[in-house]
Amino acid sequence: MTALAGEAAGVSLGLVMLGTATERSAEMLRFAHVTQHEKIIRSIGLGLALIMYGLEEKADPMIETLANDKDPLLRYGGMFTVGLAYAGTANNNAVKKLLHYAVSDVSDDVRRAAVMSLGFVLFRRPEQVPRLVALLSESYNPHVRYGAAIAIGVACAGTGMKEAIEQLLILSKDTTHFVRQGAYIALAMVLIEISEKANPKVKDVREMLLSVVGDKHQPQPAKLGAIIALGIIDAGGRNCTIALTSRSGHTSLTGVIGLFVFFQYWYWYPFMLFISLAFSPTAVIGVNKNLDMPAFQMKSNAKPSLFAYHQPIAAPKEEAVKTVAKAELSITKKAKRRAAKKSENPDAMDIDLSSSQDLTASQNLTASQNLGVSQNLAASQSLASSQVLEKKEDEKKEEPKKEEPEPDFEILENPARVTRQQLKFVSFDVDTRYRPVVTEGILGVLVLKDEDPSKEAKLITANVPVIGEVETGETEPEPPAPFEFLG
């Protein structure tokens, strides 16, 4: 078995036995003490963290075992075990333990994992995280600063919190490459689905990320972070957000696990794909009893710009190189003229006539200039006076256009993009025919009750191919006949 396959197997064991606290965990721990492959040891620590997901106090024995182990790779897994076991609980003992290891452990990896885990423990209280990690974000250790950025990103994802953005903007100018990488990713997580009206920093952050990607002098770690950040902030065509809680307020298992495995890209880039588990679509899709989409309207009691799509920003274009005319001395020009004349008449003598010609030309030019000074002066005065009159007439004609005030509400057609922060402004008092069966936690598929079923329903059809047909018009083969598997 190669070390890379063993690393994947260790994490996979945790995903298969997620939150079970099975007895096989002791066997995994014994194997971690026997093997000499660092990748396998680290993956077993991550697998044990996944096995202890959501168990809180029941996971304390395993946490103590891993946190006090001599191997820093297992202590690294122990920090994430705290984060996953107490995910979303804001447990004081868990926070104290993570802060203790964040400032006292001798391993940079352990300290980074401890600070990152603070975001998983406190994501239900995002307002506390920027203040909690403020001092850690100023640490001399770049791994601690990176962990502080990720903790803010995890806890404040999709909130657009002002304090979080201010700290992350400071970290985005850090001198260490991978600290800027973490700050870029965290900024995208915080500002996902936040409009420019809600926070003007959105445009500045987008321009910064695009400039980092296009800058040839940027180091690869920082450029990678900017590329990932642009993918996060535009996830799902700007119709997705990062949600660690479900619509009913419960902890989202897929969201937490998706972000946890995603941040292990530090050691293996394929782990980046797990962030798709944390994305949650933000749309309201009304369906009737037949699961068809009727023509249905909702009302958003907020200004449309507050939750609008942000305008796309074009990538900076490289300036074209301007060509400058090559300067040439008068002596060189005279030499070229003499050479040209000599080539035409080889027997002619070399006589420099340019001086006499220049003198005659200068005299004629002086005379013509003196003659036309008065005429030019009069013409310029009349031209200036006419321009002043024309300018005054144009100012009278041009009246300032009055900007129309933005409406205080917006009518949304089914299906509609509705962000999580927009939910509290949505009402259903526009359409008198269809009423939602449930009005709480409406994000997603919304079952509608038809108040007037006698009328014909106007249905919305999506422009997608019918199931069982392809674009060429050919039908897919029929499924196999039912059979019984005896293996």
Report which of residues 368 and 128 the model is more confident about.
Answer: 128
Residue pair 177/227 in contact (Cβ under 8 Å)? The answer is no
Domain spans in the chain, listed from the N-terminal domain onward: 3-280, 282-310+407-462
pLDDT of 182 higher than 50: yes
CA 205, CA 368: separation in Å to the nearest integer?
62
Cα dihedral 47, 52, 54, 60, rounded to 10, equals -140
Q: Is the pLDDT of residue 62 over 80?
A: yes
What is the DSSP secondary-structure string of 154-203?
HHTTTT--HHHHHHHHHHTT-SSHHHHHHHHHHHHHHTTT--TTT-THHH
Task: Please state, in angstroms and rounded to a whole number, the distance separating the CA atoms of residues 283 and 295.
Answer: 15
When pLDDT is averaged across residues 10-28 and rounded to a whole number, the result is 88
Max avg pLDDT among 95-99, 433-437, 463-467: 95-99
Average pLDDT (343-348) is: 60
Average pLDDT, integer, range 344-360: 51
Band the pLDDT of 463: cuts 50, 70, 90. low
Torsion of CA 467, 469, 470, 471, to 10 degrees: -110
- pLDDT at residue 354 greater than cutoff 50: no
Residue 356 has pLDDT above 50, yes or no: no
Q: What is the share, in percent, of the chain residues with pLDDT greater than 70? A: 79
For the chain, what is the mean pLDDT? 82
CB neighbourhood size of 42 (10 A): 24
417, β-bridge pairs: 283
Check residue 245 and give its pLDDT.
86
Identify the band that residue 345 occupies on the pLDDT scale cut at 50, 70 and 90.
low
Tokens of 337: 């003229």
Span 296-319, pLDDT tens digits:
888 888 888 888 887 766 655 555
| Cα(410)–Cα(302) distance, integer angstroms | 7
User: What average pLDDT score do residues 58-71 get?
Assistant: 92
**Distance of CA 90 to CAs 51, 117, 174, Å?**
20, 11, 29
CA distance 268 to 276: 16
Per-residue pLDDT at 323: 55
Q: Is 32 exposed, middle or buried (0-12, 13-18, 19+ CB in 10 A)?
A: buried
Q: Does pLDDT of 477 surpass 70? A: yes
Q: What is the pLDDT of residues 268-286, one digit of tens each?
A: 999 999 999 999 888 888 8
Q: What separation, in Å, do the N-terminal and C-terminal C-alpha atoms of the chain show?
A: 28
pTM given for the model: 0.75
**What is the domain class of 3-280 according to CATH?**
mainly alpha
pLDDT at residue 355 in the model: 47
Q: Among 41-45, 150-154, 335-339, 357-361, whose mean pLDDT is lowest?
A: 357-361
8 Å CB contact between 280 and 259 = no
Q: What is the pLDDT of residues 362-421, one digit of tens each?
A: 555 454 555 454 455 455 555 555 655 555 555 545 555 566 777 778 888 888 888 888
Give residue 442's pLDDT band: very low, low, confident or very high (50, 70, 90): confident
What is the DSSP track for 220-258? HHHHHHHHHHHHHHTHHHHTEEE-SB-TTS-B-HHHHHH
